[in-house]
Amino acid sequence: MVSNLPTSQLTLQEVVEQEGISLGTVYKWRKEARAEGR
Contact present, 23 and 16 (Cβ < 8 Å): yes
Q: Provide the residue range defining the domain that includes 31.
A: 2-35
Fill in the DSSP letter of residue 16.
Answer: H
Domain count across the chain = 1
Phi, psi (degrees; rounded to nearest 5) at 36: -90, 0
Q: From residue 26, give the alpha-carbon distance in Å to each of 18, 32.
A: 13, 10
Measured CA to CA, the distance from residue 11 to residue 4 in angstroms comes to: 15
Contact present, 24 and 32 (Cβ < 8 Å): no
pLDDT confidence of residue 1 = 52
Q: What is the pLDDT of residues 1-38, one digit of tens each?
A: 555 556 668 888 998 999 999 999 989 998 999 999 88
Stated pTM of the model: 0.60
